[in-house]
């Protein structure tokens, strides 16, 4: 009964037309022909060879041969559920987004949780970041909040993402190891890209081994922009806060669970929803006035930084409830296509260089993962509002567009889809003033890599600090290159000297003698000498 919640849920109503239950039906081919035999192929004599002419055998086998699609290049292992978002507080002063205007407004959502590094069949209790991607099916189109369970990221510029993921995935020469944070290339990447320091602290913390998807926070990470009816913009960060609180397992539990039940997290979510024990998250926003953009001792566009909640409180504005499991994991969970560029009027981007690059990557990868340009027609990806344009054709086109004309500004057919003014709901990009020279560079305001990493460590309780040191010793201890191990502890001396010294003792390298973020700020990059040494090791 928990799978159906059709009343009033526009996405569920839409999906209903695509659902089929094959119980009590005649077996047919895909051409609708009834089949009389499904156990034995057509043969020339009972013990003779199978005949090519057996179209039923050929069709069945061909379909099976083509059942797999590429797994996601990252976040391959995931699990999803349907639900709804209800607004508590109007955001009218800040955004024109319709689903954020009237308290009580309900919007259907689809949420996919994931690990990042492991393959589709990997264990769910790996030490890793968790994806937390939400598709809001609003009446103005889909808004996707493609977030993680940690509020910062490893890198500041999207151009490094392929490098990061190559370093995190199994090494190319032997496809070992699956566990991202336990190998040489991962730690070598960290040492050579020290902007990762803050994220690594989260990654080594208990946040990387959640007890349940239901007990994780979610973060949009980037700085987005709210734009209100009057065209005024505000910077905004998005948060999900689980009603059950944030809980983790300890590493020993994680390893045992991973061995005994690698499906632990998906099982936990599925069972909770089946039992009617619906997980809930409150939705929060941090908002900064445009005039205050430069008032912080970090750059508010830097995705390796949080906005401290004491300085910019999280305002809770709504609640999301997941109340329905999927009917078919492939059709829904596997084929869903999230994209941080799916926005609605009133929500816009900023110049965060990580976000800007993500805006390219998602559709690009989905074009190959989902086989061409028509994956928006797959039921799970369709908006609940109508969509019309002059795009045509391509692999697997489902829509039958009628009419002679498929281009805008024509003299034959005045009713061809045409643009809508912003006053009538047409999306208008925020008219931010931008000036500067074209440079491939990082802003100086993005150069402090250690202050917030140190703040994070200092904010931990004593047991949490122990867990971080143990995690780092365990994971970095797996790194075979002594030189890389040394570089990493030297780097983390800039976060906390005691921590780095203790880890160094544990993993058999020289304890660093100096540290502190001032040192780090002065020398954020590794010397060429060290980098060369690593290559030789």
The structure tokens 């508010």 sit at 300
Q: Does position 356 bind ligand HEM by CB under 6 A?
A: no
Q: Does position 158 bind ligand HEM by CB under 6 A?
A: yes
- Cα end-to-end distance, the chain, whole Å: 59
Kind of pairing between the strands at 315-325 and 280-289: antiparallel
Nearest-approach distance from CB 96 to ligand HEM, in angstroms: 24
293 CB-contact burial (10 Å; exposed 0-12 / middle 13-18 / buried 19+):
middle
Among 354, 380, 479, 491, binds ligand HEM (CB under 6 A): 354
How far is CA 355 from each of CA 186, 282, 361, 431, rounded to the nearest angstrom? Answer: 22, 24, 10, 18
Within 399-479, residue ranges assigned H as helices are: 451-458, 462-477
Among 131, 262, 279, 284, binds ligand HEM (CB under 6 A): 131
Among 9, 95, 107, 114, binds ligand HEM (CB under 6 A): 114
Q: Does position 210 bind ligand HEM by CB under 6 A?
A: no
Q: Does position 248 bind ligand HEM by CB under 6 A?
A: no
* Residue among 317, 279, 262 nearest 97 (CA): 317
DSSP state at residue 294: T
**Distance between CA 537 and CA 532 in Å, rounded?**
9
Nearest-approach distance from CB 421 to ligand HEM, in angstroms: 33
For 393, residues 6+ apart whose C-beta sits below 8 A from its C-beta are none
Q: Does position 79 bind ligand HEM by CB under 6 A?
A: no
Q: Does position 365 bind ligand HEM by CB under 6 A?
A: yes
Taking the C-alpha atoms of 494, 497, 503 and 506 in order, what is their torsion angle to the nearest 10 degrees? 140
Considering the complex, state which of residue 380 and residue 479 has its C-beta at the smaller distance from ligand HEM. Answer: 380
The answer to whether 11 and 141 have CB atoms below 8 angstroms apart is no
Site for ligand HEM in 395-454 (CB under 6 A): none
Q: Does position 362 bind ligand HEM by CB under 6 A?
A: yes
Question: Per the structure block, which two tokens stand in for 514?
Answer: 């100096």
281 CB-contact burial (10 Å; exposed 0-12 / middle 13-18 / buried 19+):
buried
**Distance between CA 229 and CA 231 in Å, rounded?**
5
Question: Per the structure block, which two tokens stand in for 383?
Answer: 């908006």
Among 105, 255, 361, 531, binds ligand HEM (CB under 6 A): 361
Strand partners, 146: 133
**Distance between CA 202 and CA 429 in Å, rounded?**
34
Phi, psi of 504 (to 5 degrees): -60, -45
Q: Does position 221 bind ligand HEM by CB under 6 A?
A: yes
Task: Exactly one of 9, 75, 239, 325 is catalytic; name it.
Answer: 75
Considering the complex, state which of residue 360 and residue 407 has its C-beta at the smaller distance from ligand HEM. Answer: 360
Question: Per the structure block, which two tokens stand in for 179?
Answer: 């566990």
Nearest-approach distance from CB 131 to ligand HEM, in angstroms: 3
Q: Does position 337 bind ligand HEM by CB under 6 A?
A: yes
Nearest-approach distance from CB 373 to ligand HEM, in angstroms: 14
Task: Exactly one of 9, 142, 148, 381 is catalytic; name it.
Answer: 148
**Distance between CA 240 and CA 246 in Å, rounded?**
11
Stretch that binds ligand HEM, among 359-367, 396-404, 491-499, 513-521 (CB under 6 A): 359-367
The answer to whether 361 and 158 have CB atoms below 8 angstroms apart is yes
Q: Does position 153 bind ligand HEM by CB under 6 A?
A: yes
How far is CA 93 from each of CA 100, 233, 468, 490, rounded to the nearest angstrom? Answer: 10, 10, 41, 48
Considering the complex, state which of residue 75 and residue 183 has its C-beta at the smaller distance from ligand HEM. Answer: 75
Instruction: Tell me the number of residues near ligand HEM by CB under 6 A.
Output: 27
Considering the complex, state which of residue 81 and residue 133 has its C-beta at the smaller distance from ligand HEM. Answer: 133
Which secondary structure element, helix H or strand E, spans residue 529, and what is its range? helix 528-536
CB environment 13-48: b (16+ within 10 A), e (fewer): ebbeeeeeeeeeeeeeeeeeeeeeeeeeeeeeeeee
Among 239, 266, 305, 358, binds ligand HEM (CB under 6 A): 358
Q: Does position 341 bind ligand HEM by CB under 6 A?
A: no
Nearest-approach distance from CB 65 to ligand HEM, in angstroms: 23
Q: Does position 196 bind ligand HEM by CB under 6 A?
A: no
Q: Does position 78 bind ligand HEM by CB under 6 A?
A: yes
Q: Does position 148 bind ligand HEM by CB under 6 A?
A: yes
Q: Does position 112 bind ligand HEM by CB under 6 A?
A: yes
The answer to whether 487 and 191 have CB atoms below 8 angstroms apart is yes
Among 366, 451, 487, 517, binds ligand HEM (CB under 6 A): 366
Among 106, 119, 120, 161, binds ligand HEM (CB under 6 A): 161
- Known catalytic membership, residue 415: no
Kind of pairing between the strands at 315-325 and 233-242: unpaired
- Known catalytic membership, residue 75: yes
Q: Does position 257 bind ligand HEM by CB under 6 A?
A: no
The answer to whether 110 and 134 have CB atoms below 8 angstroms apart is yes
Nearest-approach distance from CB 64 to ligand HEM, in angstroms: 23
- Comparing every residue's Cβ against ligand HEM, the nearest one is 131
Q: Does position 73 bind ligand HEM by CB under 6 A?
A: yes
Site for ligand HEM in 12-41 (CB under 6 A): none
Cα-to-chain-centroid distance, residue 181: 18
Residues 368-397: x/- map of binding to ligand HEM (CB under 6 A)?
-x----------------------------
- Judged by the rule CB under 6 A, the positions of this chain that interact with ligand HEM are 72-75, 78, 112, 114, 131, 133, 146-148, 153, 158, 161, 221, 336-338, 354, 357-358, 361-362, 365-366, 369
Give me the active site residues, please: 75, 148
């Amino acid at each position: 009964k928990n799978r159906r919640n059709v009343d009033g849920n526009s996405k569920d109503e839409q999906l209903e037309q695509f659902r089929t239950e094959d119980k009590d039906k005649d077996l047919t081919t895909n051409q609708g022909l009834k089949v009389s035999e499904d156990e034995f192929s057509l043969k020339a004599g009972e013990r003779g060879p199978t005949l090519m002419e057996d179209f039923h055998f050929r069709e069945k086998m061909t379909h099976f041969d083509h059942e797999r699609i590429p797994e996601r290049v990252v976040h391959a292992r995931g699990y999803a559920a349907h639900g709804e978002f209800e607004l508590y507080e109007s955001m009218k002063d800040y955004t024109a987004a319709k689903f954020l205007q009237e308290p009580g407004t309900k919007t259907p959502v689809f949420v996919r949780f994931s690990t990042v590094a492991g393959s589709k069949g990997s264990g769910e209790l790996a030490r890793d970041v968790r994806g937390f991607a939400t598709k809001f099916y609003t009446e103005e189109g889909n808004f996707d909040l493609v977030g993680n369970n940690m509020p910062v990221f490893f890198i500041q510029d999207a151009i490094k993402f392929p490098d990061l993921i190559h370093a995190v995935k199994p090494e190319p020469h032997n496809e070992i190891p699956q566990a991202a944070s336990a190998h040489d290339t991962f730690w070598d990447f960290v040492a050579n890209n020290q902007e990762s320091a803050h994220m690594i602290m989260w990654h080594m913390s208990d946040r990387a081994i959640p007890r349940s998807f239901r007990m994780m926070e979610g973060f949009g990470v980037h700085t987005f922009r709210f734009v209100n009816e009057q065209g005024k913009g505000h910077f905004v960060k998005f948060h999900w806060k689980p009603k059950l609180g944030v809980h983790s397992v300890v590493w020993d539990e994680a390893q045992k669970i991973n061995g005994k039940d690698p499906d632990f997290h998906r099982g936990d979510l599925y069972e909770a929803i089946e039992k009617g024990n619906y997980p809930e998250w409150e939705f929060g926003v941090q908002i900064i006035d445009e005039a205050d953009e430069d008032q912080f001792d970090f750059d508010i566009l830097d995705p390796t930084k949080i906005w401290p909640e004491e300085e910019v409180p999280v305002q809770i504005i709504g609640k999301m409830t997941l109340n329905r499991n999927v009917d078919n994991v492939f059709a829904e969970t596997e084929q869903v296509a999230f994209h941080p560029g799916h926005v609605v009027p009133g929500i816009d981007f900023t110049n965060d260089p990580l976000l800007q690059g993500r805006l390219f990557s998602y559709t690009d990868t989905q074009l190959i993962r989902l086989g061409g340009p028509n994956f928006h027609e797959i039921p799970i990806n369709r908006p609940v509002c109508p969509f019309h344009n002059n795009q045509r054709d391509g692999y697997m086109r489902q829509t039958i567009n009628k009419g002679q004309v498929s281009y805008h500004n024509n003299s034959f057919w005045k009713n061809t889809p045409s643009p809508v003014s912003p006053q009538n709901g047409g999306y208008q990009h925020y008219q931010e003033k931008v000036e500067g020279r074209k440079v491939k560079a990082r802003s100086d305001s993005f150069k402090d890599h250690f202050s917030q990493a140190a703040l994070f460590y200092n904010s931990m309780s004593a047991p949490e600090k122990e867990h971080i040191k143990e995690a780092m010793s365990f994971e970095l201890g797996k790194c075979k290159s002594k030189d890389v191990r040394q570089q990493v502890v030297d780097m983390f001396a800039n976060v906390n000297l005691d921590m780095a010294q203790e880890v160094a003792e544990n993993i058999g390298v020289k304890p660093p003698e100096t540290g502190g973020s001032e040192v780090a700020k002065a020398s954020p990059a590794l010397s060429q000498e060290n980098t060369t040494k690593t290559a030789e090791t």
